[in-house]
Amino acid sequence: MAEIVIKNLRKDFGSFTAVKESSFTIGDGEFFMLLGPSGCGKTTTLRMIAGLELPTSGEIFLDGEEISQRPPSQRDIAFVFQMFALYPHMNVRRNISYPLISQGMKRRDVRAKIAEVAKILGIEHMLEQSVGGLSGGDRQRVALGRAIVREPKAFMMDEPLGALDAEFREHMSEELRALHDRMGATTVYVTHDQLEAMQMGDKIVVMNNAVVEQFGTPQDIYDKPASLFVADFIGSPSMNFIDFNGTVEPGQSVVSIGSHRIEVPQQLQQASGALVLGVRPEHIKLSDNGELRARVVALEYLGTTQIIVLHSDYGELKARVDASLAVSVGDQVALGFRARTITLFDRSSGSALRSSLNDGMLAHG
Ligand code: ATP
C-alpha cells in the first residue's frame, strides 16, 4: 500500500522545462490519472515517480519516505509500458515468473504466486502457451501479470491501452479498473483521453504546458473547472464560452452581457475587464421566452439526448437536450441558464472566478 506525495516537482531538459513546480498527492490505493494534451509533461512526471528520470528540483515521497533521487530498483514501483515487451521465446508462465526467479524466489513459492496472479487475471488456461500466438488483450494481461507478480507498492502505466482499437480499449479499461479494485494497489495512469480519465480515475491531475492546471475528483474537475483550459479540455461537446467586458463585485448576482442580464453564482471574487461566461451544453435550457435568443443551425441526434447547434449574438453555442424535445433547424429559441451551473473566468489569467461559497453551490443539473 502506498501514498505518493509530489512537492514542487520540476524537470528541465537544458533550457526547456517539461514539468514546472508540480504538487499533488496520490492517495493510498487510488486509481490516479495524469491527463493532458501531448507534450504537456505527463510521461516525464510518471518517469520521475518511477525513478527513470531524476527531478531537477522538488521532492517525491512514497509512504512518507523521500525517494526523489533513488534508482528505480530501490523504489518498489512497477512500470507498465505501452509496448508490452514480453519475451517471445518463453511461454506465459515463464514470462510472468521471470521477475520472481531473478529475485531468487523458491520454485514452490513461484508456482503458488503464478497460480494466484493467473487467477486474478483469468489466464490460468494459457499458462503453458507461447506468448507469440496470443491476442493483444491476452498479451496485455500477461504483461500486467508480470508487473503485479512482484507485488510492488504502486503501478505506473503510460497510455497502456494506446495501441488498441476503440472497442477493445473500452473493454480493457473496464478490466484494468476491475483488476485495480480487486487488488487495491496505488496506480498512476497517463492518458490524453479525457473520457478515459473521467471513467477510470478516482482522482485526476490535468496538466498543460508543464503546469498542473487542476487536481481533484472527476466530478470536481467537470463541475468546478479551475481554468478555461480545463473547462475546454474536459467534456464533449466542451463548455460554451461567451466573452464579455464587465465587472464582478463580491455579492453581485447578475452580470450584463450586451443588453442581456444573466444571473451568476453569488459571492464570486472581484474581477473586471475581459471576462468569460462558461456554461456546459447540458445546462442550457431552451424556452419560449428568455434573455438570450438564438437560431437552431444544426441538430445531432444521440439516442437519449440531442446536441443543438445554435447561432447567437455571442457566437456558436451548443446545447444538449432530451432527444424527445421537438426542435428543427431554423427555429428561433430563447436560452436560459441556471445561475449555479455557470462559471465565470478572467480572460487574461484564464482562471475561474471562485469563492468558497460558490464552490459549494456548483453542481450538476
Ligand atoms: P506525450 O503523450 O506526447 O508523450 P507527455 O505529456 O507525456 O506527452 P512528455 O513526454 O512528458 O509529454 O514530454 C514533455 C516535453 O518534454 C515534450 O515537449 C518533450 O519533447 C520534452 N522531453 C521529454 N523528454 C525529453 C528529453 N529526454 N530531452 C529533451 N526533451 C524532452
What pLDDT does 365 receive?
A: 28
Nearest-CA residue for atom 18 of ligand 1: 39
Cα–Cα distance for residue pair 344/282, rounded to 1 Å: 17
- Calculate how far, in angstroms, residue 68's C-alpha sits from the geometric centre of ligand 1: 19
**What single string gives the DSSP state of each residue in 77-121?**
EEEE-SS----TTSBHHHHHHHHHHHTT--HHHHHHHHHHHHHHH
Determine the residue type at 359: D
The confidence score (pLDDT) of residue 331 equals 94
pLDDT for the residue 204: 97
In the predicted model, residues of the chain with pLDDT beneath 50 are: 356-365
Distance CA 232, CA 238 (A): 5
Q: Is the dihedral of CA 360, 305, 227, 34 positive or negative?
A: positive
Tallying the residues shown for the chain, one arrives at 365
* Ligand 1: residue whose CA is nearest its atom 28: 13
Cα–Cα distance, 170 to 144 (Å, whole number):
17
Give DSSP secondary structure letters for 15-79: TEEEEEEEEEEE-TT-EEEEE-STTSSHHHHHHHHHTSS--SEEEEEETTEE-TTS-GGGTTEEE
Ligand 1 interacting residues, C-beta cut-off 6 A: 13, 16, 18, 36, 38-44, 192
Give the Cα separation of 102 and 263 in Å (integer): 65
C-alpha of residue 205 to centroid of ligand 1, in Å? 17
What integer pLDDT is reported at residue 363 of this predicted model?
34
Residue 173 in grid coordinates:
479499461
What is the Å distance from ligand 1's center to 223 Cα? 29
Contact 92, 149 (CB under 8 A): no
Which residue owns the Cα nearest ligand 1 atom 20?
39
Query: How many whole angstroms from 290 Cα to the centroid of ligand 1?
Result: 48
Q: 39: CA distance to ligand 1 center in Å?
A: 5
Q: What is the number of the ligand 1 atom nearest to the C-alpha of 210?
A: 14
Name the residue at shortest CA distance from atom 19 of ligand 1. 39
Place of cell 439516442: 303
Domains and CATH numbers, the chain: 4-223 (3.40.50.300), 238-364 (2.40.50.140)
13, 38, 205, best to mutate for ligand 1 pocket (most atoms within 8 Å of CB): 13
pLDDT digits (tens, 9 = 90+) for 292-345: 889 999 999 999 999 999 999 889 999 999 999 999 999 999 998 888 889 999
Contact 253, 226 (CB under 8 A): no
Per-residue pLDDT, 161: 79
Q: How many helices (H) and strands (E) does the chain have?
A: 9, 20
* C-beta separation of 246 from 256 below 8 A: yes
Residue 15 Cα to ligand 1 middle (Å): 13
Q: Which atom of ligand 1 is nearest to the CA of 53?
A: 27
Atom nearest to 43 CA in ligand 1: 7
CA 40 / ligand 1 centre spacing (Å): 7
Residue type, 166: A
Query: How remote is the CA of residue 333 from the centroid of ligand 1, in Å?
Result: 46
